[in-house]
Amino acid sequence: MTTEELQQEIAALEAQLTGDMFTDMEIKDQIHNLQMKLNGVKPMDSHFDCVGCGS
């Protein structure tokens, strides 16, 4: 995915947010994962995307 595609996907997911934490949890997780890809955030020498949150 290109940077533009990632940003478009994030924007599409953000448009689906309802404001209800329980409803939005899965969408926010997807947004978080895409933002990590976009920003190149990943613990070194790890196959996990994020050790802290378990994503």
At residue 36, what are phi and psi to the nearest 5 degrees? -65, -40
The alpha-helical segments, DSSP class H, found in the chain are: 3-15, 21-39
pLDDT at 52 over 90: no
Q: What angle do CA 10, 28, 32 make, to 5 degrees?
A: 65
- Contact status, residue 18 vs residue 24, Cβ threshold 8 Å: yes
Which contiguous run of DSSP H or E holds residue 1? none
pTM passes above 0.85: no
At residue 4, what are phi and psi to the nearest 5 degrees? -65, -40
**8-49 pLDDT tens trace:** 999 999 999 999 999 999 999 999 989 988 888 765 555 555
pLDDT, position 37: 87
pLDDT, position 51: 53
- Contact status, residue 18 vs residue 36, Cβ threshold 8 Å: no
